[in-house]
Amino acid sequence: MTEQQDISQSVPFPETADIETSSDDYASRFAGAAGEWMLYVQETIVLNLLKRSNAVTVLDVGGGHGQLAIPLCRDKYKATVLGSSMACRSRIAELVHSGQCLFQVGNVIDLPFQDQSFDSVICFRLLSHCGRWPQLIRELCRVARHSVILDYPASQSFNKIAPCLFRVKKKLEGNTRTWTLFRHDEVNREFMKHGFVLNSRNGQFFLPMVLHRAMKCRTLSSALEGMCRCLGLSKRWGSPVIIEMVRIT
């Protein structure tokens, strides 16, 4: 059993997937030029959505990985990161120490905040690993004043054959893990239960992310995905998907 697993088992919360995604081992999946490019694509989409919404206060649920907390602080958002354990604070410790963002330990499916406490709530690298994902969505909606932005792997993509390729993916990445694929309509329906509707859907990559990691070439990956976007493939079949859901009630 790994140290990371020991930590997650000691936390009195039912969902602790963000402990692993906040680890240095998980961050290694985005090391190198190709990984940095994938994070840049994600960051660009999210920051554009937040800018358009005029958000000021942002809660990053499970964001101890720092993939978005770091650019949020750079762009002067009032950011709070919620993690399942103090271990989730490690990669953003400098931001917390400098007062650029707040960090709080809490239950991701029972958030320790009042209703509509934040302009926007974001949640990345968590939904597909959360067994009680409907409760997670409920809580994201409850504390969001205007919008919720999150990502998930879509079944309407190359991911449809992912179970068949899992062993290959495991061999190439080394530290991959199982995940849940979602249909767009099932995610939309869950949000609608809480008064939120789809405002934007963005497919990040048409080609599998494992292929980009294997190629290790930012220029080639960017060119290939650029062609896919021009052909409309990313919009229809891209994954992971980043969605923006907005409050209507």
Confidence of residue 167 (pLDDT cuts 50, 70, 90): low
Phi–psi pair at 186, nearest 5 degrees: -70, -35
Mean pLDDT of 185-191: 98
Give per-residue pLDDT as tens, 87-132: 999 999 999 999 999 999 999 999 999 999 999 999 999 999 999 9
Mean pLDDT of 199-209: 94
Residue 177 has pLDDT above 70, yes or no: no
Mean pLDDT of 151-168: 66
Mean pLDDT of 139-143: 98
- What is the pLDDT at residue 87? 95
Residue predicted with more confidence, 95 or 162:
95
Relative orientation angle of helices 32-53 and 218-230, to the nearest 10 degrees: 50
- What is the pLDDT at residue 210? 85
Among 182, 122, 116, residue whose Cα is nearest residue 152: 182
Mean pLDDT of 73-95: 97
pTM of structure: 0.88
End-to-end CA gap in the chain: 46
- The whole-chain average pLDDT of the chain stands at 90
Among 107, 143, 132, 114, residue whose Cα is nearest residue 190: 132
Q: Write down the domain spans for the chain.
A: 3-247
- What is the pLDDT at residue 156? 74
- What is the pLDDT at residue 12? 77
Please tell us whether the domain made up of 3-247 is placed in CATH 3.40.50.150.
Answer: yes
Residue 166 has pLDDT above 50, yes or no: no
DSSP H or E run through 122: strand 118-123
- What is the pLDDT at residue 179? 74
Give per-residue pLDDT as tens, 13-72: 999 999 999 999 999 999 999 999 999 999 999 999 999 999 999 999 999 999 999 999
Q: What is the DSSP string of 139-167?
A: HHHHHEEEEEEEEE-BSSSGGGGHHHHHH
Residue predicted with more confidence, 9 or 51:
51
- What is the pLDDT at residue 2? 40
Q: What percent of the chain has pLDDT over 90?
A: 78
